[in-house]
Amino acid sequence: MFNVISNELLAENLHKMVISAPRVARARKPGQFVIVRLAPGEERIPLTIGDADAQAGTITLFIQAIGASTQKIVATPAGGALRDVAGPLGKETHIANWGRVACVGGGVGTAVLFPLVKALAGAGNRITTIIGGRSSRYIILADELAPLSERLLVTTEDGTLGSTGFVTGPLQEMLADPERAPQAVFAVGPVPMMKAVAELTRPHGIETVVSLNPIMIDGTGMCGGCRVQIGGATKFACVDGPEFDAHLVDFDGLSDRLSSYRKEEAARHAATGCRLKEERR
């Protein structure tokens, strides 16, 4: 059992949970994730480790409760416990000092982006963070990201916060300005967003890293469910990723495989009263 130390509601459906997991906290590097299973009979859900405190033996998870399983996980109060937390899994982020870096987060992808921004800032990068969502309700972690970033830009599709439009807007402006163009870009969010970012940076030859979220079960390379095509080769996101060179990723294939259980999930969400569509870490 893994005790829940605290459980805070940061925004609608977004929880910050601090979990006691001393071994994971000690071994964890930015970019890695854990597999969480609330209780027997429940799904194994991959969740990015947002932060860790090796001294306290805790890890922080930012969880957007948009699926039946994540809703149950965030319903666990401080003092409660999660049955299974396994990790850290996946490869750590390659962190270097590129100079100027753009970090782009869409929706709950911003939670995955947070530990990368923290590590990149720690390595001395000057970071422009661009986060976006459908409306202000979906903008998360702005307060946490602001002190780590040289600039923090917010976009919403309905204009309820920041500039109206997509995260690709401000990124495009940066790329067009030689004074501001980044040497590296990190992007995490819905597949169409990551694909759009990859297409923007491709002509500039700027190193671009995305964190992928395919369907996953064991997280240790055993099942092969999380396979993605990278530069024409089959890779397993859990062992070879989850971060990959955005310019080599087959985003359409990823997007298609992510829809494998949409029918089943819709039925389950209907049963639990959840209206949102996609589950991601």
Partner 1 sequence: MNKLTPKERMAIERVVMPELPADERSRNFEEVNLGLSENQAFEEARRCLQCKNRACVAGCPVGVSIPEFIDALASDDLPRAANILRGDNALPAVCGRVCPQETQCEARCVRGVKGESVAIGFLERYVADWAMHHPDRLLRAELPPATGKKVAVVGCGPAGLTAAGELVRMGHGVTIFEALHDTGGVLRYGIPEFRLPKEIIDQEVAQLTELGVVIECNVIIGKTLTVAELREEYDAVFVANGAGLPIMLNIPGENLKGVYAANEFLTRVNLMEAGRRPESATPIIRSREVAVIGGGNTAMDCVRTARRLGAERAMIVYRRSEAEMPARVEEIKHAKEEGVEFVMLTAPLAVTATEDGWVAGLRCQMMELGPPDASGRRKPIPIPGSEFDLPAGVVVNAVGTNANPLLTATAPDLTLNKWGNIVADENGMTSIPGVFAGGDIVRGGATVILAMGDGKRAAAAIQEYLKGK
Distance of closest approach, residue 217 Cβ to partner 1, in angstroms: 6
Which residues carry a binding-site annotation for [2Fe-2S] cluster? Answer: 223, 226, 238
Distance of closest approach, residue 224 Cβ to partner 1, in angstroms: 4
User: Which of residues 97 and 234 has its CB atom nearest to partner 1 in the complex?
Assistant: 234
Distance of closest approach, residue 119 Cβ to partner 1, in angstroms: 18
HSE-CB of 25 using CA atoms within 13 angstroms: 16
Residues 7 and 78: beta-carbon distance below 8 Å: yes
Residues 241 and 91: beta-carbon distance below 8 Å: yes
Sign of the dihedral through C-alpha 179, 153, 91, 227: negative
User: Which of residues 32 and 149 has its CB atom nearest to partner 1 in the complex?
Assistant: 32
What's the CA gap between 253 and 235, in Å, rounded? 13
Distance of closest approach, residue 55 Cβ to partner 1, in angstroms: 18
What's the CA gap between 23 and 28, in Å, rounded? 8
Distance of closest approach, residue 120 Cβ to partner 1, in angstroms: 23
Which residues carry a binding-site annotation? Answer: 223, 226, 238
Total length of the chain: 281
User: Which of residues 68 and 131 has its CB atom nearest to partner 1 in the complex?
Assistant: 68
Q: Which helix (H) or strand (E) holds 132?
A: strand 126-133
Binding site for partner 1 (CB under 8 A): 23-24, 27, 37, 41-44, 68-69, 83-89, 217-218, 220-225, 227, 229, 234, 236, 239, 253, 256-257, 259-261, 264-265, 268
Q: How many helices and strands in the chain, by DSSP H and E?
A: 9, 16
What's the CA gap between 107 and 131, in Å, rounded? 8
User: Which of residues 27 and 56 has its CB atom nearest to partner 1 in the complex?
Assistant: 27
**Position 26, amino acid:** R
DSSP 8-state secondary structure symbol assigned to residue 220 = S
User: Which of residues 111 and 228 has its CB atom nearest to partner 1 in the complex?
Assistant: 228
